[in-house]
A and B are shown apart, each in its own frame.
Chain A
Amino acid sequence: MQTPGKMKWLWLVIGAVVMLALPQLVTSSFAIDIFIRILLFSFIGVAWNLMGGYAKQLSLGHAAYFGLGAYTSTIMQVNYGISPWIGMVAGGVVAMLASLPIGWLCFRLRGPYFTIATIATAQVLMLIFLKFRDFAWGAEGTTIPNLGSAPLMMQFEEKSSYYYVVLGLLAVGLWITHRIEKSWMGYYLVAIGEDEDAAEAVGVNAPKIKRDIYMISAFLTALAGTFYTQYIYFIDPATAFSFNVSIEAALVSIVGGIGTLWGPVIGTVLLETTSALLQSWLGSSVGGIQLTVYSLILMAVILWRPTGLIGFATDVYHRTLRRKPARA
């Protein structure tokens, strides 16, 4: 049944070589820009999937941590000249700490009302950053001072360097997910996702596990926030706490395959490629077309393939090659 261990490693090495060589082979900056978006949202999706996918705590408020990461590193850089590399980790820690009170509140609710509470927390953070103008530039936001080529300040002249940074982030995110998946924590998470009461009844400390995974998920999401701000050289509350970040984090995981290692990556490739094609086709003049298409894809997946593209691919693989019924 399983792919032999050696084959797995071979595929992984081939994949890594291709990903490392890609920016050298494809030099169009438009294409690299799309690759960076794909890697970035895959990473955010991976971070969301840890909590949303395995433990089924369906957050639509991950923009809160994306924004906190972005603001922490930017405030440290612009006001105190501290490198965003340090700011990135600091932002992750801030996000982790913020996830404690936010989780304390939101985990009091289950199912859809947990989702709504997470939306509210991200909105509150955005409103706080919008409202208090002497604190972090208010609604106008700020540009990041451009230092030219300054790798120590996470600024590069070549777009491909950003590509490698976010590729590294994604690799870390996937590695962490893989480790968790294979650990006792992974099994506890899945148990909570299947049926929280039943999991607690057999001795899983659900509140603690949920708190821990929320902290890890928040930490990773914050790293993405720092990277994104450095990449676009700009920050304001509307981009940092954008609801679209929360939506896309959840969407890529669900479309790709919720609660699977590679699901968020596959989902992002599909959604971002679709979005790039639509843009080159219609131009960016038609507002709303991207999310219209995303929502149609999401509905189709939910109605016909709740296991996502990964589930679909496994089904097809088993039917055509193995001639064995796929697991439900």
Chain B
Amino acid sequence: MWETLAQAVINGLLIGGIYALVSIGVTLIFGVVKIVNFAQGEFVMIGMYISFFLATQFGIDPLVSLVVSMPVLFLAGVLIQHFLIRRVLGPNDMPQIFLTFALSLLLLNLSLMLFSANYRTVHTSYSDEAWHIGGLYIPLAKLIAFAVAMALSGLLWVFLHTTDLGRAMRAASQNRDVAMLMGINPNRVFAVAFGTALALAGAAGSLLMPFYSAYPFVGQVFVLMAFVAVVMGTLGNVMGALVASLMMGIAESLGIQFVGADSGLIVVFGLLLLTLAFRPSGLGARRGR
């Protein structure tokens, strides 16, 4: 019993690291640019396909292809922010929601046309490796993915807290107008935030590739998790999103273990609805505001 429980928690925690990369991206964009990127999951999908093609065409290990997927998606993010998102920023929600939503539909269906709905996998030397620690089973590929995901999140935290650009981003997310008055260039800050968020999604894709299949709809799984985590962790809060993602991974895994194989999503949505009912401003919200 306890071993099953511990195993489920470990499984959830490891996949939660990937959820964290996606949610941090969503919450970063929401915090700084003040829009919700509905297409975030599709960039995870693109990251996966980049790693898949580099692995099958050139034999490059998916973990190594991180150095390709992250810059490519960073650049994509800067371009998308500059040419698309910038044009719909304003008080009106409708264009923002449906522009990123259209982008999500477009990327998803384009990849369906180009790559078909087939599941693509990459088999690496460590895909089947696992550590056994006292009856517990820790798959190496997932452990690596978790460790890299946490390292990247840590790097982002350092970036946000120690560099001028990072501080400018945090300032913009706290109060955009005042930040602009202090001489922060909004377009530059927004572009970097969007690019960084997409780079994180790309990293998530590459990290997933050794143990997860790529297919056009794969992003939907992750983006739903991310949205729930971002609401739970208080909108725009990077640490909140990280903690909530790990919790969601664990909750999903416990749901799969103790309720049934297809009930992971029910548990996650249930959590979202409970959060909305009892703590609508999220778990990380400051009390007594």
B235 touching A113 by the CB < 8 A rule? yes
Whole-angstrom distance from the CB of A294 to the nearest CB of chain B?
A: 7
Contacts of A13 in B (CB 8 A): none
* Cross-chain contact of B94 among A58, A124, A127, A247 (Cβ < 8 A): A58
Interface-side segment among A87-95, A226-234, A282-290, A318-326: A282-290
Interface-side segment among B12-20, B50-58, B108-116, B186-194: B108-116
| A112, B108: Cα distance in complex, Å | 20
The secondary structure that dominates the B interface is helix
| A286, B263: Cα distance in complex, Å | 32
Contacts of A290 in B (CB 8 A): 109
Give the A interface residue count (CB, 8 A): 41
Most chain A beta-carbon contacts within 10 A, residue among B98, B99, B113: B98
| A230, B106: Cα distance in complex, Å | 32
Interface-side segment among A34-42, A158-166, A296-304: A296-304
B276 touching A106 by the CB < 8 A rule? yes
Residue A117 CB within 8 A of the other chain:
yes
B109 touching A116 by the CB < 8 A rule? no
Residue A141 CB within 8 A of the other chain:
no
Question: Which residues of A (171-210) have their CB < 8 Å from a CB of B?
Answer: none
B97 touching A58 by the CB < 8 A rule? yes
Residue B5 CB within 8 A of the other chain:
no
Residue B67 CB within 8 A of the other chain:
no
Q: Chain B contact residues (Cβ within 8 angstroms of A): what range? A: 35 or more
A292 touching B97 by the CB < 8 A rule? no
Residue A269 CB within 8 A of the other chain:
no
B269 touching A127 by the CB < 8 A rule? yes
A306 touching B94 by the CB < 8 A rule? yes
| A324, B273: Cα distance in complex, Å | 50
Residue B182 CB within 8 A of the other chain:
no
B96 touching A288 by the CB < 8 A rule? no
Residue B122 CB within 8 A of the other chain:
no
| A109, B112: Cα distance in complex, Å | 32
Contacts of B79 in A (CB 8 A): none
Contacts of A258 in B (CB 8 A): 94
Residue A105 CB within 8 A of the other chain:
yes
- Knowing A127-B266, A127-B269, A299-B103, the reply to whether A111 touches B109 (Cβ < 8 A) is no
| A121, B269: Cα distance in complex, Å | 8
Residue B105 CB within 8 A of the other chain:
yes
Residue A276 CB within 8 A of the other chain:
no
B109 touching A292 by the CB < 8 A rule? yes
The contact string, 1 if C-beta is below 8 Å from chain B, for chain A 119-157, is: 111011001101100000000000000000000000000
| A306, B87: Cα distance in complex, Å | 11
By beta carbon, the residue of chain B nearest A113 is: B231
A295 touching B116 by the CB < 8 A rule? no
Contacts of B154 in A (CB 8 A): none
* Cross-chain contact of B96 among A60, A112, A292 (Cβ < 8 A): A112
Contacts of A124 in B (CB 8 A): 266, 269-270, 273
B94 touching A254 by the CB < 8 A rule? yes
Residue B146 CB within 8 A of the other chain:
no
Residue A211 CB within 8 A of the other chain:
no
Contacts of B117 in A (CB 8 A): 287
* Cross-chain contact of B276 among A109, A115, A296 (Cβ < 8 A): A109
Contacts of A286 in B (CB 8 A): 113
Residue A291 CB within 8 A of the other chain:
yes
Contacts of B265 in A (CB 8 A): 123, 127
Residue A56 CB within 8 A of the other chain:
yes
A302 touching B98 by the CB < 8 A rule? yes
Whole-angstrom distance from the CB of B268 to the nearest CB of chain A?
A: 9
| A261, B99: Cα distance in complex, Å | 23
Contacts of A289 in B (CB 8 A): 109, 113
* Cross-chain contact of A306 among B95, B106, B273 (Cβ < 8 A): B95
* Cross-chain contact of A123 among B111, B112, B269, B277 (Cβ < 8 A): B269
Whole-angstrom distance from the CB of B225 to the nearest CB of chain A?
A: 11
Contacts of B116 in A (CB 8 A): 287
| A256, B228: Cα distance in complex, Å | 31
- Knowing A109-B280, A112-B35, A291-B105, the reply to whether A250 touches B272 (Cβ < 8 A) is no
Most chain A beta-carbon contacts within 10 A, residue among B36, B93, B112: B93
| A278, B201: Cα distance in complex, Å | 33
Contacts of A109 in B (CB 8 A): 231, 276, 280
B272 touching A117 by the CB < 8 A rule? yes
Residue A327 CB within 8 A of the other chain:
no
Residue A6 CB within 8 A of the other chain:
no
By beta carbon, the residue of chain B nearest A292 is: B109
B36 touching A116 by the CB < 8 A rule? yes
* Cross-chain contact of B98 among A117, A123, A298 (Cβ < 8 A): A298
Whole-angstrom distance from the CB of A98 to the nearest CB of chain B?
A: 13
25 A-B residue pairs with CB within 8 Å: A56-B93, A60-B101, A105-B273, A109-B276, A113-B36, A113-B231, A117-B231, A119-B224, A120-B224, A123-B224, A127-B262, A127-B263, A128-B266, A247-B105, A254-B98, A286-B113, A287-B112, A288-B216, A292-B105, A294-B105, A295-B109, A299-B99, A302-B95, A302-B99, A306-B94
10 closest residue pairs by CB, A with B: A288-B112, A112-B36, A288-B109, A295-B105, A295-B106, A298-B102, A292-B109, A108-B280, A291-B109, A111-B93
B residues engaging A (CB < 8 A)? 35-36, 38, 84, 87-88, 92-99, 101-103, 105-106, 108-113, 116-117, 216, 224, 227-228, 231, 235, 260, 262-263, 265-266, 269-270, 272-273, 276-277, 280
